[in-house]
Amino acid sequence: MSSLLIKNGTIVTASDRYAGDVYIEDETVATIGTHLELSADRVIDAQGCYLFPGGIDAHTHMELPFMGTFASDTFESGTLAGLHGGTTCIIDFAIQTQGDSLAAALDSWHQKADGHAVGDYAFHCAVTDFNDDTRKEIPDIINDHGINSFKVFMAYKGFLMVDDRQIFELMQELVKHGGILTSHCENGDMIDHMVKTFVDDGKVEPRYHVLSRPPICEAEASGRVIDLAWQTGCPNYIVHMTCEEALERVRKATLRNQKVHVETCIQYLLLDDSLYFQDGFEGAKIVMSPPLRKKKDQEALWAGINQNLIHHVATDHCPFCMNQKEMGIDNFAKIPNGAPGIENRMELLYSEGVAKGRISLNKFVEISSTGAAKIFGLFPRKGTITAGADADIIIFDPEVKHTISADSHHMMVDYNAYEGWEVQGKTRTTILRGTVAVDEGVAHVGEGFGKYLKRPPFTPHF
């Protein structure tokens, strides 16, 4: 049995903050106390540092085949980059190819991840073709594969998008078997029409990406899926919410005491749509869907976090190198949608959130880890620091300042949307299941260290 003792840190969970030592045996937290005098194979002094639960990023796309290319991070490189920044666990989307089975999608994602991921991982199952055969697969996906969350795309017409009937019927099935429906909310028909109109008019620069996807598209689709969830009673989670108008639909639903789980992503809190209007092809770097919004939307999202309307801040990590983005140099509609972020999420959220006084330390833990763990059935194994939980802990030094750059990041992508940003606070050490995975920027684990996580049905969504 191996043991590790972390002394003199300040333990922070979603609800508490206290001085304490953490004693870890093998992969789990064994004891928490003050001035623990236990002998251990290794002792780490965390004086002056916070001990946070390992970050969970519930929205990533490693090696995603998308728009004629593949997202540039593998499960190995992407999860390792996450560990550098303090993310110990991801939930990636295994996406069905229309015409194929859900099981085939899961096989394909397991092949990419098993034996390769460095950090821990689970899968959501994205349903792009809900039919009688797919319906029959749902109980097995939930009970055998250990996947309790299913995703639908309300946009990307022609290859990922499903219609309302499919969403409604899938929700009814999930209610029976204890699943949760997650949704990419944009009105794909409206967008399809606007994209075509711009392209036909020769308006092909990256700025037309944002102009073809106005907030109303997202708000309408968000309201629609909320209503379908209300009617069916299906637990639901809206991914990557970006704007005030969509958040208003959530607020309205709470007035009838409906529970709607909401995710935003770090880029929607920090970057705005003026970036699409830069000269040349620069705007392609942040072509993602939904697009970046206005500063007033960022304010609404920060407020939404504190109003408990938003429960998780993910990344939608879906990186493409510039030569891949250039597939759309003559037509914004061909720019692969997505951007990197997994390595920087935790530190940016601390720096821009906690250090700038927008959120509390406890809220930081809740939205970077605990909330996702609870919603998706990983809690309390993941998402908190407590006896019996996986020893996924980051030792975070709030005093260290550093600068983000593609020259020093570990993500397999040749730009960083936050290039040159000064960040307050740094992940000093990342511990995954009791093993020091990354320490002072040096990785001590490698390919295959990550474990696949099964998640149970009927989780008590908070």
Q: Tell me the number of residues near Zn ion by CB under 5 A.
A: 2
According to the binding rule CB under 6 A, does residue 337 interact with ligand URP? yes
Looking at the Cβ atoms of 69 and 424, the one nearer to ligand URP is: 69
If 0-12 CB within 10 Å is exposed, 13-18 middle and 19+ buried, where does residue 414 land? middle
CA geometry: angle at 188 spanning 184 and 192, to 5°? Answer: 140
Q: Which of 13, 289, 315, 351 binds ligand URP (CB under 6 A)?
A: 289
Q: How far is the CB of 216 from ligand URP (least distance, A)?
A: 18
| Of the residues 63, 244, 316, 343, which one makes contact with Zn ion according to CB under 5 A | 316
Terminal CA-to-CA distance of the chain, rounded, Å?
A: 35
| 316 lines the binding site for ligand URP (CB under 6 A) | yes
* Per CB under 6 A, 340 contacts ligand URP: no
> Segment contacting Zn ion (CB under 5 A): 23-31, 117-125, 176-184, 191-199?
176-184
- Residue 337 CA to residue 320 CA, distance in Å, equals 8
Task: Give the shortest CB-286-to-Zn ion separation in angstroms.
Answer: 14
Distance CA 222, CA 309 (A): 14
Q: How far is the CB of 94 from Zn ion (least distance, A)?
A: 12
Contact letters for Zn ion, residues 402-431 (x by CB under 5 A): ------------------------------
Contacts with ligand URP in 52-111 (CB under 6 A)?
A: 61
Cα 340 to Cα 399: distance, rounded to the nearest angstrom: 25
Contact track, ligand URP, 352-391, x by CB under 6 A: ----------------------------------------
Applying CB under 6 A, does 288 fall inside the site for ligand URP? Answer: yes
Contact 456, 146 (CB under 8 A): yes
- If the CB atoms of residues 229 and 339 are measured against Zn ion, the closer one turns out to be 339
- Tell me which residue has tokens 């996986």: 390
Q: Determine, following the binding rule CB under 5 A, whether residue 244 of this chain makes contact with Zn ion.
A: no
User: How far is residue 398's CA from residue 344's CA, in Å, rounded to a whole number?
Assistant: 15
Nearer to ligand URP among residue 64 and residue 138 (C-beta): 64
Burial 421-444 (b: 16+ CB within 10 A, else e): bebbbbbbbbbbbbbbbbeeeebe
Report the distance separating Cα 182 and Cα 454, nearest Å.
17
249 binds, among ligand URP, Zn ion, none (CB under 5 to 8 A by kind): none
CA distance 347 to 367: 13
CB of 155 to ligand URP, least distance (A): 7
- Of 5 and 335, which has the nearer Cβ to Zn ion? 335
Answer yes or no: are the C-beta atoms of 283 and 207 closer than 8 Å: yes
Alpha-carbon distance values, 424 to 17, 136, 180, 270 (Å): 20, 50, 36, 15
Buried b (16+ CB within 10 A) or exposed e, 40-67: beeebebeebbbbbbbbbbbbbbbbebb
- 254: Cα separation from own chain's centroid: 23
- Among 78, 319, 328, 338, which residue sits at the site for ligand URP (rule: CB under 6 A)? 338
Identify residue 384 by its one-letter amino acid code. T
Q: Which of 84, 116, 145, 184 binds ligand URP (CB under 6 A)?
A: 184
H or E element that contains 225 = helix 215-232
Smallest gap, in angstroms, from Cβ of residue 24 to ligand URP?
35
**Partner touching 337 among Zn ion, ligand URP, none, CB below 5 to 8 Å by kind:** ligand URP
Min separation Cβ 239 and Zn ion, Å: 6
From Zn ion, ligand URP, none, which one binds at residue 288 (CB under 5 to 8 Å depending on kind)? ligand URP
Minimal distance, residue 9 CB to Zn ion, in Å: 34
CA angle in degrees (0–180, nearest 5) for 245-348-72: 85
Binding site for Zn ion (CB under 5 A): 184, 316
Binding site for ligand URP (CB under 6 A): 61, 184, 288-289, 316, 318, 337-338
